[in-house]
Chain A
Amino acid sequence: MKQPDSVKDMGRHPGQPLAHINPLEQIPLPPPFDKIDEEPKFAQLSEAAREKYVVLDDTIAVNIEKPKTKEDEDRLVNGFLSGLEKLFSVEDNWTFLQPFEMSMEHCARCQTCSDACPIFQESGENELYRPIYRSEILRRIYFKYVKKASPAIHGDIDLNWETVARLIELSYRCNLCRRCAQTCPIGADNALLSREIRKIASMEMGIVPKELHDDGSVLQLRVGSSTGMTPMIVKDNIEFIDEDTAERTGVPVTTPFDVVGADILLIHNAGEIMAWPENPGAFATVFEAAGLSWTLSSDAVGYDGINYGVWYDDVQFARVAVRHAMAAKKLGVKKIVLGECGHAHKALTVIADKVLTGDLNIPRESSMVTLRDIIRSGKLKLDPSRNDFPVTLHDPCNLVRLMGVVTPQREIIKAVVPEGRFREMAPHGVENYCCGGGSGFAIMSGHNFADWRHRMTGRRKFRQILEAFSDESMDPSHRKYVCAPCSNCKGQIRDILAYYDAFEKAGIYYGGLVELIVNAMVDVQPGFIDWEWH
């Protein structure tokens, strides 16, 4: 394992990667995946990529081209310093000024957070991935180059273009799960500092991973969805999903669009419509069976709950949040219900709470709560024995640790899964581990980033899944279900399971929560969960 000796290395060793993980040195997974030399190969970065882009470690997330001239180098350094100053300005950063300054000033660098970080732990405690490694660099740059304080007080660091480029790249080696912040004895939040570095890069320097910006929030604001679906296409797709769902359940269903005066505007992560159509189909089936007054919106952005700005850019975040609220306002709904998407939950319910005012301040509710209330109402006839297989639950960080929605999903599972079939992961609830796809990673796969994500960020979750099912046979014919009520988490879990071939080798399958409900509904044909890998 190669790792930096010091935070000062960030500006040293020109052109060299600072860290390298030897997969054979990683902690082995539980059985039947415990033979580390039989794990899938970790794809290497191409020489062309190493030549063209700034390389920090074994992968590349941001694609920062190496500067060709001194002017290019200066632009990186000056842009970063300018953005850093703006983070301390009320005008430019009222959005996070207090939490940011608190974490900049009061981190005692005691390393308590290190044990909480799954990336640092799964890397074999590689110094580069220590939660405070990047924050310490940010602090030192700020105090030395902006505040002009003595390095004797806050520590020393060299500032050159490589320090800046590597630091930006390093801000995309954190899932922003905030497990580190949860354990901080003082209340510092090193995950927030990762996000603030990303903000400097995006909002001041225009440097962002393509998947989050050009193919993410920009595309969403331009055509309506980061999937590229226009309003017309989304309506077509939902119509197809309704037909397919009816075929599977034997119950006709029509998803309502643009119903003025409906009680609920349901906003899915549009990725569900594209990748997991059974999820919107299941929502429609449950909502219709419960007799809810609900609708989807066909207004651009209004049918896609994603808000990638929450990970890197406050303005992009606000733009998307406001458009979600505008879609709800246009329909005059009583509340917005967020589908199974963790970051959409947190973005619109919690963070946008300090953006939406007046007639845009429309109440937002988690679908976990809506679904739980439907179950409690007794409007659905349920037969838990239809879900007679081992089930474990992944707690999406955004929904659980960052919103406190913990029990509704468990109450639902209790109602639709036979007694003794559900088992918690350890740890779970607000102390859960990120799926590994948090902060945008689930949709980032450039170069070999997907492999890095599976080996580094998703490994702890896969370990947890295997441990949760450790008392079950790992024979592939013995089906086991990982319930992940979040689109990004589901994507990441799909990717880890596929990477390790865990469905074929161990019968571990994944899906959402609402699918478990429909699978238990007496009034639909059995077998809604089809155990077909997709």
Chain B
Amino acid sequence: MTTLAYVVAYVGVVFFVIACVARFVMWSKMPMHMRWELYPVAHEGGGKAAYGGSYLEDTEWWTKKREVSLIGELKVMVPEILFLVALREHNRKLWTRSFPFHFGLYLVGGATALLLLGGVVAGFLPEAISQPAERLIGLLAPALGGAGLILGIVGAIGLLLRRRSRALRDYTAPADLFNLLFFVVAFGVAAATWLLYDRDFSMVGAFVANLVTFNLAAVGDGTAGLMLVLSVVLLALLVAYIPTTHMSHFIGKYFAYHSIRWKDDPNLPGGEQEKVIEELLSRPVSWSAPHIGADGKKSWLDVTLEDQSK
């Protein structure tokens, strides 16, 4: 049974990583598209981001060096990721559910990272370093993990109830409910294990340390051990499931901002973008409406330049 938990944990994590990378690659390999930015654009320099201005306000902007502020982006991105600022600003009711849910995930993720670190420290570093580190992790991990599980459950239940509201009900597919229920169940089992059998995270800490060192030894006895296995299996399945659904928006959102909303780099004469655009304009068009005049062979450039004056 314990071996099964180890196998599922390895497979879950590996699948998650591969699926996330595949998603990232999919979004990043998409062709250049028409500019479709939306202001404010956070990296606009010279104080423009504050009011939503752009370099297009500058005299002969194409002759000027653009001011692009990474700090400006971080000032928007970090609070957005941590506190869901856009949602708080525009939909406070949903934020009161969504924020605990997401922050709970971050805390659980943080606790897991600490336990992984603990495993590495215990397995590969001398005792003089590993013992104090383990003590610190032993204090932090249960606090973060426990709080994360509770927040995650509260948030997921809140979101689940909200999906039954009049405004959202008709826009909710069975899969949306399943996704949230999956969180409630997986986090619920993990929280029960924590509260009933593993208050100090010693069992889960040992399990993660074993994962790191590829030691597939059993952890915990009887019901406690069974609950740990059940928690691990459910959480691993959840982790593997997330990137296959629209919950992978944590990857898509990066591109929604950096490749669309904030993508304002101009195509300057003679610049690199021109070559890409010329290649795209050489692609065949197959739209069927008569006014397009496409036949599947003519390119975008061909149909664009055709004489329309007759």
Closest residue of B by beta carbon distance from A401: B39
Q: Is the CB of B54 within 8 A of A132?
A: no
Tell me the smallest distance from the CB of A238 to a CB of chain B, in Å: 21
- Tell me if B222 counts as interface (CB < 8 A to partner A): no
Tell me the smallest distance from the CB of A265 to a CB of chain B, in Å: 15
In the complex, besides A355-B34, A365-B60, 15 extra interface pairs with C-beta distance below 8 angstroms are: A92-B287, A98-B259, A102-B255, A102-B256, A109-B172, A187-B260, A203-B292, A204-B288, A351-B34, A363-B61, A363-B269, A404-B39, A404-B48, A404-B52, A406-B51
- Tell me if B253 counts as interface (CB < 8 A to partner A): yes
Separation of A191 and B90 alpha carbons in the complex (Å): 17
Tell me the smallest distance from the CB of B280 to a CB of chain A, in Å: 5
Separation of A95 and B51 alpha carbons in the complex (Å): 29
Q: Contact flags (1/0) for B27-65 with A, using CB distance below 8 Å?
A: 100111111111111001000100111111111111000
- Tell me if B252 counts as interface (CB < 8 A to partner A): yes
Q: Is the CB of A406 within 8 A of B305?
A: no
Q: Is the CB of A94 within 8 A of B33?
A: yes
Closest residue of B by beta carbon distance from A409: B57
Q: Is the CB of B308 within 8 A of A102?
A: no
Q: Is the CB of A405 within 8 A of B171?
A: no
Q: Is the CB of B291 within 8 A of A353?
A: no
Residues of A within 8 A of B41 (CB): 404
- Tell me if A450 counts as interface (CB < 8 A to partner B): no
Residues of B within 8 A of A95 (CB): 33-34
A186 touching B90 in the complex, CB below 8 Å, given contacts A202-B289, A222-B310, A429-B51: no
- Tell me if A160 counts as interface (CB < 8 A to partner B): no
A106 touching B249 in the complex, CB below 8 Å, given contacts A86-B287, A95-B34, A315-B285: yes
Separation of A375 and B43 alpha carbons in the complex (Å): 28
**Residue from the list A107, A114, A300, A407 in contact with B53, Cβ < 8 A:** A407
Tell me the smallest distance from the CB of B242 to a CB of chain A, in Å: 13
**Residue from the list A5, A221, A431 in contact with B308, Cβ < 8 A:** A221
Q: Is the CB of B32 within 8 A of A354?
A: yes
Q: Is the CB of B36 within 8 A of A99?
A: yes
Tell me the smallest distance from the CB of A100 to a CB of chain B, in Å: 9
Tell me the smallest distance from the CB of B90 to a CB of chain A, in Å: 4
- Tell me if B75 counts as interface (CB < 8 A to partner A): no
Residues of A within 8 A of B44 (CB): 404
Tell me the smallest distance from the CB of A185 to a CB of chain B, in Å: 4
For window 286-310 of chain B, which residues contact chain A by CB distance below 8 Å? 286-292, 294, 300, 303-306, 308-310
Q: Is the CB of A109 within 8 A of B253?
A: no
Closest residue of A by beta carbon distance from B249: A106
Tell me the smallest distance from the CB of A191 to a CB of chain B, in Å: 10
Q: Is the CB of B31 within 8 A of A407?
A: no
- Tell me if B238 counts as interface (CB < 8 A to partner A): no
For window 183-208 of chain A, which residues contact chain B by CB distance below 8 Å? 183-189, 192, 202-206
Residues of B within 8 A of A136 (CB): 171
Residues of A within 8 A of B269 (CB): 358, 361-363
Tell me the smallest distance from the CB of B245 to a CB of chain A, in Å: 8
Q: Is the CB of A354 within 8 A of B249?
A: no
- Tell me if A178 counts as interface (CB < 8 A to partner B): yes
Tell me the smallest distance from the CB of B28 to a CB of chain A, in Å: 10
A-B contact pairs, 29 of them (CB 8 A): A7-B170, A94-B31, A98-B255, A98-B259, A98-B260, A106-B249, A110-B94, A112-B90, A112-B91, A115-B90, A178-B38, A183-B86, A183-B91, A189-B38, A205-B288, A223-B309, A319-B303, A319-B308, A322-B304, A353-B267, A354-B273, A361-B268, A366-B56, A366-B57, A401-B52, A404-B37, A404-B57, A405-B54, A406-B57
Residues of A within 8 A of B25 (CB): none
Q: Is the CB of A407 within 8 A of B57?
A: yes
Tell me the smallest distance from the CB of A239 to a CB of chain B, in Å: 24
Residues of A within 8 A of B98 (CB): 110, 185
Separation of A239 and B167 alpha carbons in the complex (Å): 57
Q: Which of A111, A154, A223, A349 has the most CB of B within 10 A?
A: A111
Closest residue of A by beta carbon distance from B174: A152
Residues of A within 8 A of B306 (CB): 319
Separation of A7 and B37 alpha carbons in the complex (Å): 29
Q: Is the CB of A407 within 8 A of B51?
A: yes
Q: Is the CB of A406 within 8 A of B292?
A: no
Residues of A within 8 A of B32 (CB): 94, 354
Residues of A within 8 A of B91 (CB): 110-112, 115, 183, 185
Tell me the smallest distance from the CB of A340 to a CB of chain B, in Å: 15
Closest residue of B by beta carbon distance from A351: B34
Separation of A86 and B179 alpha carbons in the complex (Å): 30
Separation of A366 and B56 alpha carbons in the complex (Å): 8
Closest residue of B by beta carbon distance from A411: B57
Closest residue of B by beta carbon distance from A116: B90
Range class of the A interface residue count? 35 or more
For window 48-88 of chain B, which residues contact chain A by CB distance below 8 Å? 48, 51-62, 84, 86-87
Closest residue of B by beta carbon distance from A354: B34
Separation of A96 and B33 alpha carbons in the complex (Å): 5
Which residues of A are interface residues toward B (Cβ below 8 A)? 5-7, 79, 82-83, 86, 89-92, 94-99, 101-102, 105-112, 114-116, 132, 136, 151-155, 178, 181-189, 192, 202-206, 213, 218, 221-223, 300, 314-316, 318-319, 322, 335, 349-351, 353-358, 361-363, 365-366, 368-369, 373, 400-408, 429-431
Q: Is the CB of A369 within 8 A of B168?
A: no
**Residue from the list B252, B273, B278, B303 in contact with A105, Cβ < 8 A:** B252
Q: Is the CB of A315 within 8 A of B287?
A: yes
**Residue from the list B56, B89, B171 in contact with A111, Cβ < 8 A:** B171
Separation of A182 and B262 alpha carbons in the complex (Å): 12
Q: Is the CB of B291 within 8 A of A350?
A: no
Closest residue of A by beta carbon distance from B58: A369
Separation of A192 and B36 alpha carbons in the complex (Å): 9
Residues of B within 8 A of A223 (CB): 309
Closest residue of A by beta carbon distance from B258: A187
Separation of A365 and B168 alpha carbons in the complex (Å): 43
Q: Is the CB of B309 within 8 A of A221?
A: yes
Q: Is the CB of B36 within 8 A of A96?
A: yes
Q: Is the CB of A98 within 8 A of B62?
A: no
**Residue from the list B55, B58, B253 in contact with A106, Cβ < 8 A:** B253
Q: Is the CB of B246 within 8 A of A105?
A: yes
Q: Is the CB of A430 within 8 A of B39?
A: yes
Q: Is the CB of A315 within 8 A of B252?
A: no
A91 touching B285 in the complex, CB below 8 Å, given contacts A96-B34, A221-B308, A369-B59: yes
Closest residue of B by beta carbon distance from A399: B56
A86 touching B33 in the complex, CB below 8 Å, given contacts A108-B249, A112-B87: no
Residues of B within 8 A of A373 (CB): 59
Residues of B within 8 A of A184 (CB): 86
For window 153-182 of chain B, which residues contact chain A by CB distance below 8 Å? 167-168, 170-176
Residues of B within 8 A of A92 (CB): 285-287
Residues of B within 8 A of A204 (CB): 287-289
- Tell me if B257 counts as interface (CB < 8 A to partner A): yes
- Tell me if B188 counts as interface (CB < 8 A to partner A): no
Q: Is the CB of A357 within 8 A of B278?
A: yes
Q: Is the CB of B31 within 8 A of A361?
A: no
Q: Is the CB of B30 within 8 A of A97?
A: yes
Q: Is the CB of B86 within 8 A of A114?
A: no
